[in-house]
Amino acid sequence: MTATLTSTPAVVRTIAEIRAAIRAYRAEAGATASVGFVPTMGFLHEGHASLIGRSAQDNGLTVLSIFVNPLQFGPNEDFERYPRDEARDLDVAARAGADIVFMPSVSEMYPTSAATQITVSGVTERLCGASRPGHFDGVGIVVTKLFNIVQPDRAYFGLKDAQQVAVVERMVADLNQPVQIVPCPIVREADGLAMSSRNVYLSADERREALVISRTLAKVPAWIDSGMNAAQLTAAVREGISSSPIADIDYVETLTYPALQPPAPDAPVSVSDGRIIVAAAVRFGRTRLIDNILISLPEAQPL
């Protein structure tokens, strides 16, 4: 199936329908078939559009899923109020080049409460894994189910959720899931704010103050060049973000990537650390935002 910029994607809501559509595509395309998959929770923005666009470039068929997965939200989190807008999402999906949009209901995905758990240890110990207990178990089960349903050749994930990428890559490797994970760069608004479906929650004042995260993270390469160690880097980022009177920091951490372990505590962050991530989660009012900068050493260039 070849998408044009204006083609309307097929919308399917059941597992039987999506399997039949992909089977039909594979039968028709034969040996050249390749299925790209972009799993999302909807309320699509340009970040999602870039994943869809990349998949459409790389593959003969691009499947987008939109499913707000209850299992990855904690009891006091925003599952109920998570933004949903089907018509708007279908418009973004069409413009970005999706061929099929899979929008299952909760009962289609979880007809009974799942007795099977997927827990990826190690890479989930810190960052959102620590501050949102159970979150990555919910991601692991839904991504595995979606991979089993869609059976894609490639799956596209944004690096704003860099820990999610590390978790999914580890899960896929450990379970020999036959899919290539394609990490894609963070997409930012013109003023630097990382795109997120949750940005819609921000008041004008919070939106303005939230820029402190990307502005502070942008200083990280220079701080690394100046010889800071991981603790100093974390402290400098904390201090920068705290310059906003309404920023309520959940975490700021400097870790190796993708292992997500602390680098040597006292030495300057160096080439022996490989890739380094400085990641932050910060609340503005009721809205929790995450962002990060991933650095490849020794050049201290953002990836």
Q: Hey, which residues are catalytic here?
A: 48
- Of the candidates 81, 35, 41, 43, the residue with the CA atom closest to the CA atom of residue 61: 35
> How far are the Cα atoms of 62, 80, 99, 147, 213 from residue 3, in angstroms, in the given order?
9, 33, 6, 22, 37
Query: Which stretches of the chain bind ligand PAF, using CB under 6 A?
Result: 39-41, 69, 72, 139, 142-143, 161, 164
Beta pairing partners, 287: 284
Give whichever of 128 and 202 is closer to ligand PAF, judged by the CB atom: 128
Q: Which is nearer to ligand PAF, 61 or 168 (CB)?
A: 168
143 is in an annotated binding site: no
Residue 196 annotated as part of some ligand binding site: yes
Query: Does the annotation flag 42 for ligand binding?
Result: yes
Torsion angles phi and psi, residue 121, rounded to 5: -90, 175
Looking at the Cβ atoms of 21 and 66, the one nearer to ligand PAF is 66
47 has binding-site annotation: yes
Minimum CB distance to ligand PAF, residue 261 (Å)? 22
Nearer to ligand PAF by Cβ, of 66 and 220: the residue is 66
CA–CA gap between residue 209 and residue 216 (Å, rounded): 12
Provide, rounded to whole angstroms, the least separation between the CB of residue 31 and ligand PAF. Answer: 30
Which of 156, 56, 58 is closest to 96 using CA atoms?
56
DSSP state of 267: S
User: Strand 275-284's sheet: what is its strand order?
Assistant: 247-257, 275-284, 287-296, 301-302
Q: Is 164 annotated as a binding residue?
A: yes
- Residue ranges of the binding site for (R)-pantoate: 72, 164
- Residue ranges of the binding site: 41-48, 72, 158-161, 164, 187, 195-198
